[in-house]
Amino acid sequence: MEAAATTKKKKKVHTDLKPKMHNNAVRPTRADRAFQVTVDIFMVLILIVIAVPIWSTVTLSFRPNTYIGSYLEGMFLPVWDWSPDAYKALLGNNGFLMAFSNSLKILVGGVISALILTIPLAYVMSVKTLPGRKILTTLVLIPYIFDVGMIPAYLLVQNIGLMNHLAAVFLPGAISTYNVIIMRQFFDGIPGELKESARIDGCSEVQILIRIIMPLSKAIIMTIGLYYGVSFWNNFFNAMLYIQDSNLNPLPILLRNILMAAGMNEYVEVSAFGNAPIEAIKAASVFMSAIPMVIAYPFIQKYFTKGTLAGSVKG
């Protein structure tokens, strides 16, 4: 009887505690609600700051040649008054298509070359038992701290025969010290037991990298690949230095020539794009040059945050 009474008492105590647990929910205070409203307003302002220039560029690219009005009025031009003349002029121009093709070749070749060079170097630097690991790290950091300068880089590219080759745009920057360090930090976070078990099974270091490390490192590889892709796609300085053949000019060089011709009232470059307004051609060029990155980012976005955080903090 005493045991039964004790059990009933425990059950009663247990049931009495349940409502108290549910009633302990944290309710936001007035300060919390004010802070949330402030954050929401701030995010809306950021959205406006980002959206207005994009909308302005889109509407400007569709502006007809017969448009008469202010810049602000053009942002609210009705859709049925838009004109695709600028896009027709760009897509129908052989120079633009050739420059776009050259930029795609630089993008693909640059990302592949950079990852092929960066991944093994980062993995080697992550091996703690590697003899001379500190010396190798120092040698990698020296170019990051001390820039060799433009003239030695130009002479090097000239001496190895890369002048007037698309490879001259991406090979000099195929290894970024910053990206190597981030990837090495990510590799450091992978458990060493996986590598040791693979070595016991007879795998070489190359097999460990390809079969174990790389499948576990999709996030950081995609993230670093995106970094390299954006850098190579927007790079015009190397192309301006190392490429003199106009048939090999990438898209940033063509856009630069259009902007300079428009600013100096020299319509040699611009006249090749038909009767579309020069401002519409510039806006359409900017918009179309961003298309590859806009298409690629949604596929890489799920890896981007994970790769950045995991690579910047040692696991």
Write down all domains in the chain, each with its CATH number in brackets. 2-61 (no CATH), 88-312 (1.10.3720.10)
Q: For residue 304, is pLDDT > 80?
A: no
Q: What is the pLDDT of residues 85-130, one digit of tens each?
A: 888 877 777 778 888 889 889 999 999 999 999 999 998 888 888 8
Q: For residue 254, is pLDDT > 60?
A: yes
* Choice between 179 and 2, residue whose per-residue pLDDT is larger: 179
pLDDT the model gives residue 312: 46
Q: pLDDT category, 314, cuts 50, 70, 90?
A: very low
Q: Could you give the residue ranges of the DSSP H alpha helices within the chain?
A: 2-23, 30-61, 71-75, 85-91, 94-126, 133-145, 150-159, 167-170, 177-188, 192-200, 205-208, 218-234, 237-242, 251-263, 278-289, 291-312
Q: For residue 54, is pLDDT > 80?
A: yes
Mean model confidence pLDDT for the chain? 78
- Average pLDDT, stretch 261-265? 58
pLDDT the model gives residue 46: 93
Q: For residue 44, is pLDDT > 90?
A: yes
pLDDT the model gives residue 277: 74
Residue keyed to tokens 């040791």: 196
Q: Please name the helix (run of DSSP H) or strand (run of DSSP E) that holds residue 180, with its range, or none.
A: helix 177-188
pLDDT the model gives residue 303: 67
226, 297 Cβ separation under 8 angstroms: yes
pTM of the model: 0.73
pLDDT the model gives residue 220: 86
